[in-house]
C-alpha cells in the first residue's frame, strides 16, 4: 500500500465523515484499519473506502470501530468513589448548581452515572449535564436508555434496583435520570467548545490521538473550565505536562484549574 493511497483515503474519509485521521497516531490507526480491510478482502485503503462508500452498514460499523465505543456505568469504580466522595463535594461547596460536560460520552453510561450521584447528593437541584459524542448512533442509544447486563457490571446493586427496570434481558433507565442529561453531537477536534464548566470528563477517548492533538485538546478543556473547575481523564491518560497547560495536581487523574 502506497503513501498516496493512505493520503487519499484520509482525504476522502474526512470529506465524508469529518473525521481527520491526521490527528490520530498513524501506526496504530493504520493497523486497526488494515485489520478491518483484511476481513473484507481489500488490499488498498482506497479499495476499502469504495466499499464503505457503497455499504451503509459497513460504513456505520467502521465509524464505530474508529471511535472505540467501549464503556459501562461507573467505569473504573475506584475513581468514581473519589469523584463522588471528594471531587463533587468540593465543587458543590463553591457552585451549588454544577455545569458538567461528559466529552465523548458514547452510550451515555458516564453522564447518567454522574446524574445518579447528583440526584442522591442534591435531590432538589437540577444540575446541567452536557453529554457529547461524534457518533450519532451512540447518541441515539444513549437517549433510548436501554442497556445490557455487561454495560451495568460496575453498577451498585442498590442503584440498579433504584434506577432501572429489567425487561426481556434489557435494563431500561428511568425517565427521571434520562431527563437530567442533554445530548449533542460534537467533534472534539473540530467544533467550538462552550465555557464555564465546573467539571469536564474526557476518559478513554484520546487513546489514538497524536500527542499534538491531545495537547491542543487539553488546553481547550483548560479554557472551557471555570476557575476551580476539574478535568477528569482516563486511567491510561495522565497529562504529563499538566503544569505547562496551567493545571494543578488535585487527585490522580483529576486536574484542577487554579481558582484565580
Which of 21, 48, 67 corresponds to the end of one domain? Answer: 67
- What tens digit of pLDDT does each residue of 145-182 get? 999 888 888 888 899 999 999 988 899 999 999 999 99
Residue 72 belongs to a domain: no
The three-state (H, E, C) secondary structure of the chain, written as one string: CCHHHHHHHHHHHHHHHCCCHHHECHHHHHHHHHHHHHHCCCCCHHHHHHHHHHCHHHHHHHHHHHHCCCCCCCCCHHHHHHHHHHHHHHHHHHCCCCEEEEECCCCCHHHHHHHHHHHHHCCCCCCEEEEEECCHHHHHHHHHCEECCHHHCCCCHHHHHHHEEEECCEEEECHHHHCCEEEEECCCCCCCCCCCEEEEEECCCCCCECHHHHHHHHHHHHHHEEEEEEEEECCCCCCCCHHHHCCEEEECCEEECCCC
pLDDT value, residue 135: 85
Q: Classify residue 233 as exposed, middle or buried by CB count within 10 Å of its CB (0-12, 13-18, 19+).
A: buried
**pLDDT band at 71, cuts 50/70/90?**
confident
On the CB side of 107, CA atoms within 13 Å amount to: 19
User: Does residue 204 belong to any structural domain of this protein?
Assistant: yes
Q: Are residues 103 and 228 in the same domain?
A: yes
Q: Which residue has the higher pLDDT, 155 or 88?
A: 88
Domain co-membership, 148 together with 56: no
Which of residues 42, 67, 92 is at a domain's end?
Answer: 67
Residue that wins the pLDDT comparison between 58 and 111: 111
Q: Which range marks the domain in which residue 51 is found?
A: 3-67
Amino acid at each position: 500500500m502506497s503513501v498516496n493511497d493512505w493520503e487519499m483515503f484520509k482525504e476522502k474519509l474526512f470529506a465524508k465523515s469529518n473525521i481527520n485521521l491526521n490527528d490520530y497516531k498513524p501506526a496504530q490507526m493504520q493497523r486497526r484499519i488494515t485489520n478491518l480491510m483484511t476481513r473484507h478482502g481489500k488490499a488498498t485503503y482506497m479499495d476499502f473506502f469504495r466499499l464503505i462508500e457503497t455499504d451503509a452498514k459497513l460504513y456505520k460499523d467502521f465509524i464505530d470501530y474508529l471511535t472505540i465505543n467501549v464503556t459501562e456505568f461507573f467505569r473504573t469504580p475506584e475513581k468514581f468513589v473519589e469523584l463522588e466522595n471528594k471531587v463533587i463535594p468540593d465543587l458543590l461547596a463553591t457552585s451549588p448548581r454544577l455545569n458538567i460536560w461528559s466529552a465523548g460520552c458514547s452510550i451515555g453510561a458516564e453522564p447518567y452515572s454522574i446524574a445518579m450521584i447528583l440526584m442522591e447528593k442534591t435531590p432538589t437541584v437540577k444540575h446541567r449535564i452536557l453529554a457529547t459524542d461524534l457518533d450519532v448512533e451512540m447518541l441515539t442509544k444513549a437517549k433510548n436508555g436501554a442497556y445490557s447486563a455487561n454495560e451495568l457490571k460496575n453498577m451498585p446493586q442498590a442503584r440498579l434496583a433504584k434506577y432501572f427496570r429489567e425487561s426481556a434481558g434489557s435494563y431500561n433507565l428511568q425517565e427521571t435520570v434520562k431527563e437530567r442529561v442533554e445530548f449533542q453531537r460534537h467533534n472534539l477536534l473540530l467544533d467550538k467548545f462552550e465555557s464555564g464548566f465546573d467539571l469536564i470528563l474526557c476518559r478513554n477517548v484520546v487513546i489514538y490521538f497524536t500527542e499534538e492533538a491531545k495537547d491542543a485538546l487539553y488546553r481547550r478543556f483548560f479554557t472551557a473550565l471555570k476557575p476551580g473547575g476539574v478535568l477528569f481523564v482516563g486511567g491510561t491518560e495522565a497529562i504529563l505536562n499538566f503544569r505547562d497547560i496551567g493545571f494543578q495536581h488535585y487527585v490522580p487523574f483529576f486536574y484542577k484549574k487554579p481558582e484565580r
